[in-house]
Chain A
Amino acid sequence: MNQVPLSHILFVSAALFFIGMYGLFTRRNMITMLMSVELILNSVNINFVAFNKYLYPEKLEGIFFSLFIIAIAAAEAAVAIAIIINLYRNFRSIDVEDAGEMKF
């Protein structure tokens, strides 16, 4: 089987990471920011799996690590959504700029 080269996968991962980064920096909506964080985490997952498969095919640490990350990301999403709901209850908005009470 003609394998996809590692660099291609790394490129996808890097693209995903920067898209996530860009979204995190530019979006003011908490949910889209959360989604961006998920993108970043996923790009890391891809990296882990890719390095595991291409560099150490006989080992499984990379795969386990990404499974861990998926679990933590799920927990993180639950916490984040709880925060978002609380934010919405307090400010009637999930725009981060509206939550400026503690500023200055």
Chain B
Amino acid sequence: MPNYVYIALIPLLPLAAFVVLGLWGRKYLRRLSGVIGTGAVLASTGLSLWTAYRYFAACLADGACRPVVPLKVTWLTFSPGLSIDMSIILDPISVMMIVVVSFVSLMVHIFSLGYMKGEARFGTYYAFLGLFTFSMLGLVLSGNIFEIYIFWELVGCSSFLLIGYYFDRPSAVAAAKKAFIVTRFADLGFLVGILILSFHAETLDFRTLIQRLTEPSPQLASITTASFLGISLLSWGLVLVFIGGAGKSALFPLHVWLPDAMEGPTPVSALIHAATMVVAGVYLVARLYPVYAYAGPAVLQVVLYIGAVSAILAAVIACTQTDIKRVLAYSTMSQIGYMMFALGASGYTASMFHLFTHAFFKALLFLCAGVIIHKVHSNEMKDMGGLRKLLPLTHGCFLIACLAIAGIPPFSGFFSKEEILQAAFHANKFVYAIGLFTSGLTAFYMFRLYFSVFRGRRPHDVGSHHGEGPLTMKLPLVILAAGVIFAGFVPFSRFVTYDGAPEKAHAIGAFAIAPVTLALAGIFMAGYLYRKESDRPAKAAAALGGLYKFAYHKFYIDEVYSFITKKIIFNLIGRPAAWIDRNIVDGLMNLLAAVTAKVSAGIKGFQSGKVQDYALYFFAGIAVLAVLFIYIYT
């Protein structure tokens, strides 16, 4: 068994960068902060790749991947056997995730060197990126369910900080708040889920917890026999944990924060809101997957349908949006829906595979969007068009990423989508149909984006004073594009399976015909509508009528939320609570104060400072005493 203790350095290096840059980044290290942050993440990436190499080499030698806990520090002990440990777990998915997270983070760090150059808060930006990278790496390495919750909140916090990076923009502040509140709301579910599961399993350690809840044990008996509203507490716990994951992963109906989160700087969107943080929910469900699988089909059905609904809903909305980053945001949501329903359809390997490939092509898409926005200084698709000649490298990378996400062979998205659809086909035909349709839609909206941005007529001179940006912006694109091309050939099912034993890779054959055909149809459809400037899109929109309008307004989900919060929660709970607070709680205090003030105002006249008055009181007292003496004593 190789020694992995150095792994603690992988998250700690970005943390060190955060501390250094957070303390001195703004004043002393302004120029250097980018290099320091990037250097730390580069070291982390190197260590992650080396770890992955050693771990999977050991896997090959053993014939199966076994989880390893190289480090375990007891942090807080509640009772013997129940403690919050700071531990690191290495299993195929955590090793895969540290590679993805540190790699994408490195790309984003390098890209930001060019993209964020000249920003006033350059050092702060890198400090926040370091904090995020630390938290995310900590999250994926957590070997304790409470430890993962701590890092879970930390990524939420750094996401909040980075969305609100341009804090002088009210929309960015609102978006940051929205993201924080929505995910916090979902995290409540997660916390309650943790409490239910760990209370009955009597442990917080992932491996022990999974072992106790998947094999006959007194703990399993206690959690399955206890029930609430006729559903066993095991199901409740798992569903609540899933709700936490759904909030972080922007699944329907908790997705409303993700499109708004695009207010952050574009590289941040690439890192946090596309490639890494938003897949934390998928990762969480995957981490507890043995329990989900053991708990029976009901919970997995929830996961399956929520995933499928998110996938298709987001894809439909993405077809109508005009902001390039919002299209990508909905596309992210749709792809995460894919991963989720793959888990629900027992396609553990497929889901993780898609997570892996998605990180590459979505990060690439966002970074390309960054270059485009850098060039035209606008997020709106109508301000773009005909950029193919101006941005040849970006064009190539974007096209590769689009082909990958559309699922065209031999790009990486094809392989992972294939696995997912196969898993869905075996689990549920209806969801398979949804997945198939969504993959067609995906191709359509991605190529709608591609054609409107790179083909067609240039709307106005976008200025050719800078080309595609410095080398620091081009290099990550090229590296990620290479990743997109080759990630699909990683023999995933050989390594990443939930029981550790290698799985036979599905043969890709006739099964691939339907999705690829649909994807091609989507691409041709997009080409027909958007290749040249015409009134075809407007006509198509008019033909769809209400549906188009409905999708354009994101199915009015935001409006429903604001109706529920403003009209129902505020009026029925908030206002009465405010009334009680103002009139009863405050009123009691005010009454007390008023009585005191009144009494003191009444009696303060006695202490006038006039000797004559005092003499009078003295005399009155004597007189009273005299009267008393006369009438009582005698």
Binding site for B on A (CB under 8 A): 21, 24-26, 28, 33, 96-97, 100, 103-104
**Residues on the A chain within 8 Å of B609, using CB:** 100, 103-104
In the complex, the chain B residue whose C-beta lies closest to that of A27 is B612
Measured in the bound complex, the distance between the Cα atoms of B610 and A26 in whole Å is: 11
**B610 touching A25 by the CB < 8 A rule?**
no
Measured in the bound complex, the distance between the Cα atoms of B619 and A25 in whole Å is: 10
Measured in the bound complex, the distance between the Cα atoms of B609 and A99 in whole Å is: 11
Q: Within the complex, which residue of B610, B611, B619 is in contact with A21, where a contact is CB–CB below 8 Å?
A: B619
Measured in the bound complex, the distance between the Cα atoms of B611 and A100 in whole Å is: 11
**A25 touching B616 by the CB < 8 A rule?**
yes
Measured in the bound complex, the distance between the Cα atoms of B611 and A101 in whole Å is: 14
Name the 7 nearest CB pairs between A and B, nearest first.
A103-B609, A25-B616, A25-B612, A21-B619, A24-B615, A25-B615, A24-B612
In the complex, the chain B residue whose C-beta lies closest to that of A28 is B612
**Residues on the B chain within 8 Å of A104, using CB:** 609
Q: Within the complex, which residue of A96, A100, A103 is in contact with B612, where a contact is CB–CB below 8 Å?
A: A96
**Residues on the B chain within 8 Å of A26, using CB:** 612
Write the nearest CB–CB distance from B350 to chain A, whole angstroms.
85
Instruction: List 17 interface pairs A-B (beta carbons < 8 Å), by A numbering.
Output: A21-B619, A24-B612, A24-B615, A25-B612, A25-B615, A25-B616, A25-B619, A26-B612, A28-B612, A33-B612, A96-B610, A96-B611, A96-B612, A97-B610, A100-B609, A103-B609, A104-B609
Measured in the bound complex, the distance between the Cα atoms of B608 and A104 in whole Å is: 9
Write the nearest CB–CB distance from A5 to chain B, whole angstroms.
21
In the complex, the chain B residue whose C-beta lies closest to that of A21 is B619
**Residues on the A chain within 8 Å of B612, using CB:** 24-26, 28, 33, 96
Known: A25-B615, A26-B612, A33-B612. 5 other contacts (CB 8 A): A24-B612, A24-B615, A28-B612, A96-B610, A96-B611
Measured in the bound complex, the distance between the Cα atoms of B223 and A6 in whole Å is: 103
Measured in the bound complex, the distance between the Cα atoms of B615 and A25 in whole Å is: 7
Write the nearest CB–CB distance from B630 to chain A, whole angstroms.
14
In the complex, the chain B residue whose C-beta lies closest to that of A104 is B609
Main secondary structure of the interface of B (DSSP, over half): helix
**Residues on the B chain within 8 Å of A33, using CB:** 612
Measured in the bound complex, the distance between the Cα atoms of B619 and A100 in whole Å is: 23
Measured in the bound complex, the distance between the Cα atoms of B365 and A45 in whole Å is: 114
Number of interface residues of B (CB under 8 A): 7
Write the nearest CB–CB distance from B263 to chain A, whole angstroms.
60
Measured in the bound complex, the distance between the Cα atoms of B609 and A21 in whole Å is: 19
Chain B positions 573 through 615: 1 when the CB is less than 8 Å from some CB of chain A, otherwise 0: 0000000000000000000000000000000000001111001
**Residues on the B chain within 8 Å of A103, using CB:** 609
In the complex, the chain A residue whose C-beta lies closest to that of B613 is A25
Measured in the bound complex, the distance between the Cα atoms of B616 and A26 in whole Å is: 10
Write the nearest CB–CB distance from A84 to chain B, whole angstroms.
15
In the complex, the chain A residue whose C-beta lies closest to that of B608 is A103
Chain B positions 142 through 168: 1 when the CB is less than 8 Å from some CB of chain A, otherwise 0: 000000000000000000000000000
Measured in the bound complex, the distance between the Cα atoms of B616 and A21 in whole Å is: 9
Measured in the bound complex, the distance between the Cα atoms of B612 and A25 in whole Å is: 5
Interface centre among B610, B612, B615, B619 (most CB of A within 10 A): B612
In the complex, the chain A residue whose C-beta lies closest to that of B623 is A21
**Residues on the B chain within 8 Å of A25, using CB:** 612, 615-616, 619
Measured in the bound complex, the distance between the Cα atoms of B610 and A96 in whole Å is: 9
Measured in the bound complex, the distance between the Cα atoms of B611 and A87 in whole Å is: 16
Measured in the bound complex, the distance between the Cα atoms of B615 and A100 in whole Å is: 17
Measured in the bound complex, the distance between the Cα atoms of B84 and A51 in whole Å is: 95
In the complex, the chain A residue whose C-beta lies closest to that of B620 is A25
Measured in the bound complex, the distance between the Cα atoms of B618 and A24 in whole Å is: 13
**Residues on the B chain within 8 Å of A28, using CB:** 612
In the complex, the chain A residue whose C-beta lies closest to that of B619 is A21
Write the nearest CB–CB distance from A49 to chain B, whole angstroms.
23
Write the nearest CB–CB distance from B619 to chain A, whole angstroms.
6
**Residues on the A chain within 8 Å of B616, using CB:** 25
Measured in the bound complex, the distance between the Cα atoms of B610 and A52 in whole Å is: 38
Write the nearest CB–CB distance from A29 to chain B, whole angstroms.
11
Write the nearest CB–CB distance from B105 to chain A, whole angstroms.
69
Measured in the bound complex, the distance between the Cα atoms of B454 and A66 in whole Å is: 123
Write the nearest CB–CB distance from B605 to chain A, whole angstroms.
14
**Residues on the A chain within 8 Å of B611, using CB:** 96
In the complex, the chain B residue whose C-beta lies closest to that of A26 is B612
Measured in the bound complex, the distance between the Cα atoms of B613 and A26 in whole Å is: 9
**Residues on the B chain within 8 Å of A97, using CB:** 610
Write the nearest CB–CB distance from B339 to chain A, whole angstroms.
77
**Residues on the B chain within 8 Å of A21, using CB:** 619
**Residues on the A chain within 8 Å of B610, using CB:** 96-97
Measured in the bound complex, the distance between the Cα atoms of B477 and A99 in whole Å is: 90
Write the nearest CB–CB distance from B313 to chain A, whole angstroms.
74
Measured in the bound complex, the distance between the Cα atoms of B610 and A33 in whole Å is: 14
Measured in the bound complex, the distance between the Cα atoms of B609 and A104 in whole Å is: 8
Measured in the bound complex, the distance between the Cα atoms of B481 and A20 in whole Å is: 111
In the complex, the chain B residue whose C-beta lies closest to that of A100 is B609
Write the nearest CB–CB distance from B616 to chain A, whole angstroms.
5
Measured in the bound complex, the distance between the Cα atoms of B115 and A24 in whole Å is: 91
Measured in the bound complex, the distance between the Cα atoms of B610 and A97 in whole Å is: 8
In the complex, the chain A residue whose C-beta lies closest to that of B609 is A103
Measured in the bound complex, the distance between the Cα atoms of B611 and A24 in whole Å is: 10
Measured in the bound complex, the distance between the Cα atoms of B611 and A33 in whole Å is: 12
Measured in the bound complex, the distance between the Cα atoms of B611 and A73 in whole Å is: 20
Measured in the bound complex, the distance between the Cα atoms of B146 and A83 in whole Å is: 83
Measured in the bound complex, the distance between the Cα atoms of B619 and A104 in whole Å is: 24
Measured in the bound complex, the distance between the Cα atoms of B611 and A28 in whole Å is: 11
Write the nearest CB–CB distance from A104 to chain B, whole angstroms.
7
Measured in the bound complex, the distance between the Cα atoms of B619 and A24 in whole Å is: 11
**Residues on the A chain within 8 Å of B615, using CB:** 24-25
Write the nearest CB–CB distance from B617 to chain A, whole angstroms.
10
Measured in the bound complex, the distance between the Cα atoms of B611 and A96 in whole Å is: 9
Write the nearest CB–CB distance from B620 to chain A, whole angstroms.
10
Measured in the bound complex, the distance between the Cα atoms of B623 and A21 in whole Å is: 12
Measured in the bound complex, the distance between the Cα atoms of B607 and A103 in whole Å is: 11
Write the nearest CB–CB distance from A95 to chain B, whole angstroms.
12
Chain B positions 262 through 285: 1 when the CB is less than 8 Å from some CB of chain A, otherwise 0: 000000000000000000000000
Write the nearest CB–CB distance from A97 to chain B, whole angstroms.
7
Measured in the bound complex, the distance between the Cα atoms of B614 and A25 in whole Å is: 9
Measured in the bound complex, the distance between the Cα atoms of B362 and A46 in whole Å is: 114
Measured in the bound complex, the distance between the Cα atoms of B616 and A71 in whole Å is: 27
Measured in the bound complex, the distance between the Cα atoms of B615 and A28 in whole Å is: 13
Write the nearest CB–CB distance from A101 to chain B, whole angstroms.
11
